[in-house]
Amino acid sequence: MRALIAMGERTASHVQALEACHAVLHGTGVHFALVQRPDIDLEPADPAHAHDVLVRVHGFSCNYREKGRLLQAARREGGGYLVLGSEFAGTVVKVGAAVADLRPGDRVFGNGAVDATDAHPGLSTQRASQELQVLPRAKLMRFPATMPFATAAAFSVGAQTAYALVRRLRAARGDQIAVTAASSNTSLFAIAALVARGTTCTR
């Protein structure tokens, strides 16, 4: 399976890349490479993976947190690399024995909801560019065939964050709301959610 990684000069000189490029971010040289990694699999009868799903990723995205993480990887004195990606969209390949509501071919993206009672809170994965993922069923959501993979791969974090903010705001129809940083993905989701509730948004 393929994955997109970020690293510093020390590691880059030893990596066998399918494709590679280099950029300077905040004065730090960062090397990016598409690499081949060993495939992973899921055995449906394995009790340890009864609630898990094997997903093939068709699209992924990075968000604001990625920049800090990749800079840390590039500056790390001991070397090493970071597999990039916070969000993804893909199709189900296999399901564990206890997963009854998903089947191979279903289109899914990550469920980024934070639940203190969940054994896997927050993001579904921090290596979304990895082509194969084994993830808990609770951290996946279906999306319709009318939504392209590229759109779905950048949907969950922005949408879930924005709707959580709007719910806490408890805005009523007719309220006037000021939205800052209105060109960001999360702000655009928030504006759409607020307008749907009948509010007026000022940017």
**Vertex 68, ends 190 and 130: CA angle to 5°?**
85
**Can you tell me which residue has the tokens 């791969």?**
153
DSSP-based helix, strand, coil % in the chain, nearest 5: 25, 30, 45
Residue partners of 175: CB distance under 8 A and separation at least 6: 199, 200
The predicted structure's pLDDT at residue 199? 93
The predicted structure's pLDDT at residue 66? 86
On whether the CB atoms of residues 194 and 166 are closer than 8 A, the answer is yes
Element (H, E) at 174: none
Rg (CA), the chain: 19
On whether the CB atoms of residues 81 and 20 are closer than 8 A, the answer is no
Q: Is 52 exposed, middle or buried (0-12, 13-18, 19+ CB in 10 A)?
A: buried
Distance CA 48, CA 2 (A): 25
The predicted structure's pLDDT at residue 89? 97
Helix axes 156-169, 185-196, angle to 10 degrees: 50
Distances (CA, A) of 11 to 27, 33, 36, 152, 178: 18, 11, 15, 32, 46
Reading the chain (203 residues) residue by residue, the pLDDT tens digits are: 999 999 999 999 999 999 999 999 999 999 999 999 999 999 999 999 999 999 999 999 988 888 898 899 999 988 899 999 989 999 999 999 999 999 999 999 999 877 655 555 678 888 999 999 999 999 999 999 999 999 999 998 889 888 888 989 998 899 999 988 888 888 899 999 999 999 998 87
